[in-house]
Structure 1
Amino acid sequence: MWAVLLNGSKVEGGDRRTGNCFLFFSEKLLFIMTLTEISIKKMLPTTYVRSYVAHEIFVATTYFKNLRPAMDRFVSRAGAAKTLMSLTGTIPVTFAGKIYNIPVRVWIEERYPHAPPICYVQPTAEMMLVKRVFLSADGQILLPYLKEWKKGDCDLIGLLQVMAAVFGEFPPVSMRPPPEQEPGSCWTDADENSVLSLPREDGQPFQRKNETDC
């Protein structure tokens, strides 16, 4: 096997790393691995399908740039702890014509892609969870995309895109009112849940047709 660098020079075995990526050739195979993808693969234990998972994470973080991969300690609801790959950060959503960043954490199990990721909304101290049919009391995301997960039809980037679309229609978090002030305006959603308005970038609350005083 030999490698061609981006500058066109050829080296045996692909030992030199002077560019951002290599083109590795075999008789019938051509593939590209960026240094970022290589570094993600190195983070993963051998219990993962390392090349597959690293590529999916790389693609996901290319589009959702505020997500960062890291191996971290995951504790299940039963209290069992294990070290898993996770993506932590925010995903941008469009709500009422404005873009907001929703904090999430996506845990990728060793059985991935045969098993779906375990996903949570993680509100900051200034935020509170909003009651939604796709959200558990502790913030776990329970979308149909996850419940009906099937290898080959579902992937990490598709999951994040679905999350962004759903959160844009039904925000999973709202801002906490300042403790020294009374809550401002609120609005009632289709399920008749009173939801605190998310602040806009100009600092003003949203005005909705079914807005009421609380």
Structure 2
Amino acid sequence: MAPPCSSIQFIDTALSCTSPFALSYTDLNQKWLIRKHLISLVQDHPDFTLSTDSYYHNDGSTVNLLNATGYLRVSNITPPVHVTIWLHENYPHMPPIVFINTSSNTLNQIHQNHPFVDLCGLTTSPYLQTWLHPGCNLCNLVHNLIKIFSHDHPFSYSSSVRNTTSFTHPSLVSKREALDRLSGMLHYDKAALQAKAEEDIEGLSILQVELEKRAGVFTNIITELEHESLKLKERVMELAEETDVVVNWLKVNDAKSFGIIVGEEMENAFEGVDEESKMVINGLAADRGIEDVIYELDKALEQGVVSFDIYIKQVRNLARDQFPYRDLLVKLKGPDILI
């Protein structure tokens, strides 16, 4: 099919313009190739429309470029893809810049993690990445886009329609299609590995936080134990000093009692200075002894070693024996001695 005369006239007029809005193509041979490729494009795809506009590069520079806009109908059951193909100022030595337009149909948004199209619509297919003049041109580019979008459609539509396994279809036998298939498979494998790695990293981060908390707890416990150990050592030293003081006092003030401590029974180490003191010491010893026996009986009852009847009987007998000693102590020293 011959291209419309209006399209040819538009191309010639745009390329020959010398006004301040002139296009950024300067070489005559370059313009001739652009004219040839655009004519072939609108001849094969008559629904594409041509226009000129300013294009803003990522480095901030602005150029006036030709672009072709149209719909790629990849199949009868999937929505068409609206694309704009910008011809780079160094075309055909630099590949075209392809964008998928989503503003014309808000229901068809680009799905995440597409191997060739980012969420802004910029398309970077293997054909564009390996672009090489004179083997590459606009018509083959559009044909390649239709192929890869038929295998992996860029829009997020019903999952029952989407073909997610087409990259492994055995009918893809050409070198170009094999490269597209391999790129798509590698992209999805990379995305899956990255997702798994992020999941593992998140799990390890949580584990790291938990281990750091436990390390903090253990550090606090060790610090407290060290402080406790230091306190016990200080207390042992204090008791040793106090023991030395007592021993020295006994050596100086009561050599006979000191001899009793080291060679005789401990009970005879201290003696009362008078008869009343001796009675108080003996009464206290008997009272405390009976108290210790009653305490042991309480523990025996709790542990079930003795029966309740035996316990009551023994406690009564001990209380009967304890009363005279307590009565004597109260008479000699007052009730405060029993506290």
- TM-score tier by shorter-chain length is 0.5 to 0.7
Are 1:55 and 2:30 an aligned pair?
Answer: no
Contact 1:85/1:107, CA 8 A, preserved across alignment: yes
Alignment match of 1:158 (pick from 130, 135, 140)? 140
Aligned to 1:210: none
Which structure has the higher relative contact order (CA within 8 Å, separation 6+)? 1
Distance in 2 between residues matched to 1:184 and 1:116, nearest whole Å:
33
The alpha-carbon distance between structure 1 residues 106 and 185, as it changes in their structure 2 partners (threshold 3 A), is same
* TM-score, normalised relative to structure 1: 0.62
SS in 1 for 2:92: coil
Q: Does 1:189 align with 2:164?
A: yes
2:95 aligned with 1:116: yes
From the superposition, tell whether residues 165 and 184 of structure 1 become closer, same or farther in structure 2 (CA, over 3 Å). closer
> Take 1:35 and 1:72, find their aligned partners in 2: how far apart are those partners?
18
Listed as ranges, the matches of 1:169-188 within 5 Å are: 169-175=151-157
SS of 1:163's partner is helix
Change (3 A) 1:189 1:112: same
Residue 147 in structure 1 maps to residue 118 in structure 2: no
Q: Is the 8 A contact 2:152 2:163 kept in 1?
A: no
Give how far 1:52 is off.
1.6
Q: Distance in 2 between matches of 1:172 and 1:99?
A: 10
Q: TM-score, normalised by structure 2?
A: 0.40
Alpha-carbon offset, residue 50 of structure 1: 2.0
Query: Could you report, residue by residue, the CA deviation over 1:15-51 in whole angstroms, capped at 9, with x for unpaired residues?
Result: xxxxxx9xxxxxxxxxxx9664243122124525222
Give the Cα–Cα distance (whole angstroms) in 2 for the partners of residues 65 and 87 of structure 1: 11
Structure 1 residues 55 and 188: CA distance shift in structure 2, 3 A? closer
Q: How many Å separate the matches in 1 of 2:155 and 2:61?
A: 28
Q: Please tell me the residue identity of whatever aligns with 1:117.
A: P
In 1, the alpha carbon distance for the partners of 2:152 and 2:159 equals: 20
In the alignment, the residues of structure 2 paired with residue 70 and residue 127 of structure 1 have an alpha-carbon distance, to the nearest angstrom, of: 24
User: Which of 105, 111, 119 matches 2:84?
Assistant: 105
Alignment of 1:2-17 (within 5 A): none
**d(CA) in 2 for partners of 1:61 and 1:150?**
22
Matched, 1:132 2:111: no
2:179 corresponding residue in structure 1: none
CA 187–58 in structure 1, closer or farther in 2 if over 3 Å, else same: closer
How far residue 158 of structure 1 moved from its aligned partner, in angstroms, is: 0.4
Q: Following TM superposition, by how much is the alpha carbon of 1:188 offset from its aligned partner in structure 2, in angstroms?
A: 8.7
Aligned-partner residue type, residue 128 of structure 1: Q
Higher strand share: 1
CA distance in structure 1 between the aligned counterparts of 2:36 and 2:121, rounded to whole angstroms: 27
* Secondary structure of residue in 2 paired with 1:50: helix
In the alignment, is the contact (CA less than 8 A) between 2:63 and 2:89 conserved in 1? no
Match of 2:124, as an amino acid?
L
Q: Is the 8 A contact 1:91 1:102 kept in 2?
A: yes
Deviation at 1:186, TM superposition (A): 8.4
Q: Which runs of no fewer than 5 residues in structure 1 stay unpaired?
A: 1-20, 22-32, 176-182, 194-214
Aligned residues: 153
Question: Which stretches in structure 2 are left out of the alignment for 5+ residues?
Answer: 16-22, 166-187, 192-339
Q: Which has the higher helix share?
A: 2
Q: Residue 35 and residue 55 in structure 1: after superposition, are their counterparts in 2 closer, same or farther (change >3 A)?
A: farther
- Give the AA of the match of 1:110: E
RMSD: 2.9
